[in-house]
Amino acid sequence: MASRCAEDVHDETSLYDEFATMTTRIMVKKYTEEHEWIEMDEGGKIGTMGITEYAAKALGDVVYVELPEVGMECNKGDTIGAVESVKSASDIMSPVSGKIVESNEALSDKPATINKGPEAEGWFAKIEVQDQSELEGLMSKEEYDAFEKD
C-alpha cells in the first residue's frame, strides 16, 4: 500500500511496545515445581501468577476456577485456589508469600481462558510480594523446561 493509514502507524507502535514488554517479561518470569509461574511488574512489587502451559494441558478442559479473595494473605506454598476439570480439581499454591491484590474475575465466566492462554490472559491472581528473596529460589524458564521434561 502506498499510503500509510492511521491504523498502520498504530500497529507499529503497539508492536514495539509488545517487544519491549516481552523482553522485560522474559527477564522476570519464574516457575515452580508445581507448574505455576509468577511474573513481576516493572515496579518489582506486584507479581502476576498462573499455571503453566504444561499444567493446563495436563489438566484438560478447565470448567471451573476457584479464585483467591482479594486481600487474602498467604505464605509461600499455601493453597490459594483451585482449577477444575469435569472430573478433577487441582489445587493452586502460591509461589511466594504476600497479599492477593487482584483475582482474574474473567475466569469465573470463562474458565476455558486458562486453556487458551495459561501464561497470558489466563492469569490467575496478582500478589503483592512480601519477600523478594523468595523469587530467587524459583526456577527460570530454562530450569523449568528441563525440570518438566524429566
Partner 1 sequence: MRLHHLHLARPIPYVHSLRLQEALLERHFADKAALRKDASLTSVAPPPTLLTFQTNPTYTVGRRHLNANPLSASQISFLTGNKEAQNDTSLATFYPSPRGGLLTYHAPGQLTAYLVCNLRTHNLTPRCYIRLLENTVMRTCAHHGVPNVMTTDDPGVWLAERSDSSVEEMADGTDCPAGTSVVPSGATPTSRKICAIGVQVSRGVTSHGIGLNVHDTPIQGGVAVEELYTLPKGNIYTEDLGTEYMQAPSTTQLEDSTILAPGYLSWGFSRIVACGLQGKSVTWLSREQQHAQEEQGVQATQPVQSTKDLTLERVADSLAIELARSLKIEEGDIDNILEEDILDVERPSWETLRILSDKTGKEAPEMDLGKQYRFRDLRQDTGMRILGFEDNTGSSS
53, 119 in Cβ contact below 8 A?
A: yes
Where in 67-106 is the site for partner 1 (CB under 8 A)? 77-79, 81-82, 84-91, 93
Note whether 59 binds partner 1 by CB under 8 A.
yes
Q: Is 100 helix (H, G, I), strand (E, B) or coil?
A: strand
Closest to 49 measured CA to CA, from 146, 65, 150: 65
Note whether 14 binds partner 1 by CB under 8 A.
no
Note whether 114 binds partner 1 by CB under 8 A.
no
Note whether 66 binds partner 1 by CB under 8 A.
yes
Dihedral Cα 146, 140, 31, 78, nearest 10 deg: 120
Note whether 2 binds partner 1 by CB under 8 A.
no
- Of these, 9, 15, 22, 63, which contacts partner 1 (CB under 8 A)? 63
Where in 16-35 is the site for partner 1 (CB under 8 A)? 33-34
Per-residue HEC secondary structure of 111-123 comes to CCHHHHCCCCCCC
Please, which residue, 51 or 129, has the CB nearer to partner 1?
Answer: 51
Q: How far is the CB of 86 from partner 1 (least distance, A)?
A: 6
112, 61 in Cβ contact below 8 A?
A: yes
Phi, psi of 29 (to 5 degrees): -95, 130
Closest to 69 measured CA to CA, from 121, 127, 130, 131: 127
Please, which residue, 25 or 135, has the CB nearer to partner 1?
Answer: 135
Please, which residue, 4 or 87, has the CB nearer to partner 1?
Answer: 87
Query: By the criterion CB under 8 A, which residues form the site for partner 1?
Result: 33-34, 57-60, 63-64, 66, 77-79, 81-82, 84-91, 93
